[in-house]
Every structure is written in C-alpha cells, then in structure tokens.
Amino acid sequence: MKNISNTVSKKPWVAWVLFIATLIFVFLLGLFTYTIIENRAEGQFAYVTTTDIDPMDPRAEAWGRFFPRQFNTYAQMADTTFRSKYLGSQRRDLLDENPNMVILFAGYAFSRDYNLARGHYYSVQDVQETLRTGAPMNPEDGPMPATCWTCKSPDVIRLMDEMGTSEFYASTLAEVGHEIHNPINCASCHNAEDMSLKIALPALAETFERMGRDINNVSHQEMRSLTCAQCHVEYYFGEDNYLIFPWDEGMRAEDIAYYFDQREFADWIHPLSRAPMIKAQHPDYEIFTTGIHYQRGVSCADCHMPYTTEGGMKFTDHKIQSPLNNISAACQTCHRQSEAELIRNVYERQDMVHDLKMKLERVLVKSHLEAEFAWNQGATEDQMRDALHLIRHAQWNWDYAAASHGGAFHAPLEMVRTLGNGLDMAHDARRKITAVLLELGYTDDVSLPDVSTKQKAQEYIGIDLEQLQAEKDRFLEEIVPQWLQTSLERQQRWDEQKRDPDHTGSYLQ
C-alpha cells in the first residue's frame, strides 16, 4: 500500500477530496445526531395538545395530564419531612420556638399563631387552618378580606376573571371561601397554549407599570424570578383591600418605610407601646435582588427549580423546596465545592444573621414593655412621640429581615445592614423612653413582666388560645366541608361543560 503522504505530494487534489469528503461526513453525522436529539425532545411533547388546557383551569391534574414529569415532581411537595437548621418544609410553631414574637406582634393576628411555611402544596389548607384567619361562620364575617387568598390559589385567577379584580379584593375571605380549592399550581406560572412563563396575577404587572416598566418586556431569565415575585414580595392592602406592592420609592427597607410614612400608613397600633406599626410580609424578591447571585444573573428557579433528568430527558424539577435538600442539582451545577462545604457556607451566613436578629428582637421586646411602663407612669403623647416613631421603624427593619425566610442566604450583607440599622434605632428608642421616665421623676429600675414562653407571653397580652382554637375547630368541622363540597361539584363540571366558542377563559357556571 502506498504511503498517503507520497500520494498527496504527487497529486495534491487527493488531499482536497479527502478534506471535503471528511467535511461532508462530519456535517451528515452532526445532522443525524441533531435529529436524534430533536426526535427525543419531540417524543416528550408528541402527545401534547396544549390547546386542550383551559387557561382558567385551576386543577393541577388537568395540566399535569400533558406534563407528567413536571406534575409528578410538583406532587412531591406533599412530603414535608425535610428540615434544615433554620428552615425546611415541616410545620413548626415559630411562636413556641421564639416567644419574643408574641410581644412584637401583640394586637396583631401573628401573635396568635405563626408557623413555618410547609410549601405550595399546602397553601390553601394552611390558610384555612391558621388561627390568624379566625373562624368566619358566615360569608360576611371577618377578620380577613379575600385579598389573603391572592397568592394561595389559581382559583383566584379564575375568580378575578369572573368578578373583576377590585370586586374580588373587596370581598371577605369567607365570601369566596367555597370558590378557593386548588393550591398554587401550573396556572399560577404558565400560559396554557405553549407553557411559556406567565405573570398570572395583576399586582406585579401594575407595580411595573407605575414604575414605567413593561412586564412583557423582560428577559426569559428575569421571568424565572419574576414568576416568584408575583407572591414572594412585600405588599399591603390599600383602599378596599386592593393589593399593592409598595416599591414606588425603592425596594430597600428604608425606601418602603418612607413610602408608608408618607401615607401615614399603619397596619395596627401596638397595644403595649401604642406605636403605629407596619407588618412586613415576605420581601424575598426585594432582598434577593441585593445579593451576589442576582447580580450574577442567577434566578430563583436556578436553585429552587433546578433541571433534572429522567430517562435521559431534561426537565425542570417542580418540587419547589429548600435547595439544601437537593444540593447536587441546585448548587453543584455552578459550584465545585463538596456538599458539606456548601451547607457550611449557608449555615455560616444564616447563623450570623440569626444572631443579630435575636439581639434586635430582645431590645425591641424591652422597648415595647418599657413604653407601656412609661404610659402607666403618666407619659403624654408629646413625650412619647419620638420613641414610638423609633420603635415603629426599628421593628419594621427587624420584620423586613425576619419575614424573608431565605434572605440570610440570598443576601446576607443586606440582611445585616437592615438589622444593624434596626438595632441602632431600637437602642435609641429605649434611651428616649428612659429620658421620658426621668422627666416624670421616675429613677428606679423598670421591672418587666416574665414573657419568656409562648404561654406566658400570650397570657400577658390577653390571648385566650383555647377559645380561639375551639372556634377554629368548629369552623373546620362545619364550614370547610361545605366549601369542599361546593368546590368538588364545580370541578366535576369542568370536564362536562361545553366551552363557549368565543371563550375568553371565563369559567361558566
């Protein structure tokens, strides 16, 4: 056999033929591989007729029929066994673990009952069961407006479409109780026709509009966080309980406090200190945007809904949970460190934030009790004004940080900054109260009540837990089964009814 380099040196065109033949072969091979991959991807969607899904259908099973992998991982949220050092999906009584909060929330529903969130799968049940929503035996009974349901169920999307958004917000929680059945699911985040991501609830889009931004004009990666920002944000109820995100002055604690101060807004008047308080909700998105992961373009879904594979098929894991239960998919796609090292990194940040949070909490509890003491000594509104203003803001800073359960990892520096400012204000508040007591001629030590357990603290502020629980049990036994019955009948009619050809997505009763 002749040496190939000999041939080539004699007949250079042979090299060209070989070269071009190789090119064609590689091209065909590439085409072939591409077709295999494409067919495989199509395999997943081959039997998918997404047009069959009504965009207002609030049932996860109805959507899940077409997307079994996403549905199956979604359904895994039923499991609530995971627990990390501070978080996880177990229902835990946070007031029992931390009785300071009973005093901080005195006069507000959170002093009755405050559990750690179990997850999306339980969003409706948890609202029905918490003592915070009371025991509304009649539709017109309070204490809560329908607005509370907004981030708990895709039935809300359907109801807003039927009733109108303002009318929905203006109802009571109990009036629409029989309409709310399905926990957060597919319709909360997806368009039915192509399963692209969707902002399904109005508040976020309205906020963007006020800020001169268009929610339809954001990148795909942004959407992977903004779908979460429909709910995981700070909010308040405006006129007629209309849901508003107070971002007009900015998203940091002090920007939002300024927004509320301008409107002289208070969620409640604290019964011990008489300070006009603001309750923070869960500014997860706001705090996340100040952290390094957001700044490097990482989205909520990257850690809480990482890609996973099944039978060689890549898809999005819909079990939304603590990423510490899934480090390999949630973190090790980007970080090469060991699982133990990454967990250590998370706990180290959480420990430091927790430590500062507890310091602020203890000073705040004292400031409420000392303010109460000062009132009892005959202090006047004028004398107390500055101290109460400081208590309002110190507790707002505490709550803004505390209510964002993931913040200590998402943006530890911002958390420490916010809590540090709060600690400064809380100490100032105590100094002002001491000055008031001196003006009143009181120079002894202030003896504070023992509020060191949940029971003692609740007794001190006059909560009768047994009675609240008895009322709640009656509500759960008598009212909730009626709601369930109505919902199940309505859901059955979904498949039976013929849809209007000019269908706008409305669900016709």
**Smallest distance from ligand HEC to CB 7, Å:** 52
Out of 163, 266, 298, 480, the only residue in the binding site for ligand HEC (CB under 6 A) is: 298
497: tokens are 């009814």
Whether the Cβ atoms of residue 310 and residue 303 lie closer than 8 Å to each other: no
SS3 label, residue 227: coil
Q: Which is nearer to ligand HEC, 383 or 404 (CB)?
A: 404
Interacting residue with ligand HEC among 241, 321, 395, 397 (CB under 6 A): 321
With left for phi above 0 and alpha for psi between -120 and 50, is residue 452 left, alpha or beta? Answer: alpha
Using CB under 6 A as the binding rule, whether residue 215 contacts ligand HEC is answered as: no
Please, which residues bridge with residue 276 across strands?
A: 269
Encoded tokens for 85: 């050092």
Nearest approach in angstroms of CB 198 to ligand HEC is 9
The contact mask relative to ligand HEC for 334-373 (x = CB under 6 A, - = no) is: xx------x--xx---------------------------
What CA–CA distances, in Å, run from 39 to 33, 46, 51? 10, 9, 21
109, 140, 174, 247 from 479: Cα distances, Å: 21, 13, 9, 37
Query: Is residue 274 part of the contact set for ligand HEC (CB under 6 A)?
Result: no
Give which of 199, 157, 164, 198 is closest to 180, Cα–Cα.
157
Q: Does 62 bind ligand HEC (CB under 6 A)?
A: no
Q: Which residues pair with 244 in a beta bridge?
A: 236
- Select from 267-275, 280-288, 446-454, 501-509 the region that touches ligand HEC (CB under 6 A): 280-288
User: What is the CA angle 434-435-439, rounded to 5?
Assistant: 115
Distance CA 431, CA 165 (A): 47
- In the range 388-417, which residues lie near ligand HEC by CB under 6 A? 405-406, 409-410, 412
Beta strands in 364-411, from DSSP E residues, in sequence order: none
Rounded least distance, CB 134 to ligand HEC, Å: 17
Residue 108: DSSP 8-state: S
Which listed residue (55, 74, 144, 391) binds ligand HEC by CB under 6 A? Answer: 74
Residue nearer to ligand HEC on the CB measure, 346 or 360: 346
DSSP state of 81: -
List 55, 58, 59, 70, residue binding ligand HEC (CB under 6 A): 70
Q: Measure Cα distances from 396 to 116, 171, 233, 390, 425 in Å.
A: 20, 28, 15, 10, 11
* Candidate list 56, 303, 415, 451; residue touching ligand HEC; CB under 6 A: 303
Strands 268-269 and 276-277 turn out to be antiparallel
Question: Is 423 a binder of ligand HEC (CB under 6 A)?
Answer: no
Shortest separation between residue 490's beta carbon and ligand HEC, angstroms: 19
Q: In a 10 Å sphere around its CB, with 0-12 CB exposed, 13-18 middle and 19+ buried, how is residue 423 labelled? A: buried
Contact letters for ligand HEC, residues 137-166 (x by CB under 6 A): --------------xx--------------
How many residues are listed for the chain in this entry? 509
* C-alpha distances out from residue 335 to 122, 331, 342, 488, Å: 32, 6, 8, 46
Q: Report the distance separating Cα 386 and Cα 390, nearest Å.
A: 6
Matching residue, tokens 């309980």 = 241
Of 70 and 383, which has the nearer Cβ to ligand HEC? Answer: 70
Of 354, 357, 349, 355, give the one whose Cα is nearest residue 423. Answer: 357
Nearest to ligand HEC of 339, 439 (CB atom) = 339
Interface region with ligand HEC, contact rule CB under 6 A, candidates 86-94, 164-172, 250-258, 457-465: 86-94
Question: Per-residue x/- mask for ligand HEC, residues 163 to 202, rule CB under 6 A?
Answer: ---------------------xxx-xxx----x-x-----
Which of the stretches 5-13, 83-91, 258-266, 469-477 binds ligand HEC when contact is defined by CB under 6 A? 83-91
Window 99 to 128, contacts with ligand HEC (CB under 6 A): 117-120, 122-123, 126
Q: Which two tokens stand for residue 167?
A: 């009318």
Interacting residues with ligand HEC between 6 and 45 (CB under 6 A): none
Which residues are near ligand HEC by CB under 6 A?
A: 60, 63-64, 67, 70-71, 74, 84, 86-89, 117-120, 122-123, 126, 151-152, 184-186, 188-190, 195, 197, 224-225, 227-228, 230-232, 284-285, 288, 292-293, 296, 298, 300-305, 315-316, 318, 320-324, 330-331, 333-335, 342, 345-346, 405-406, 409-410, 412
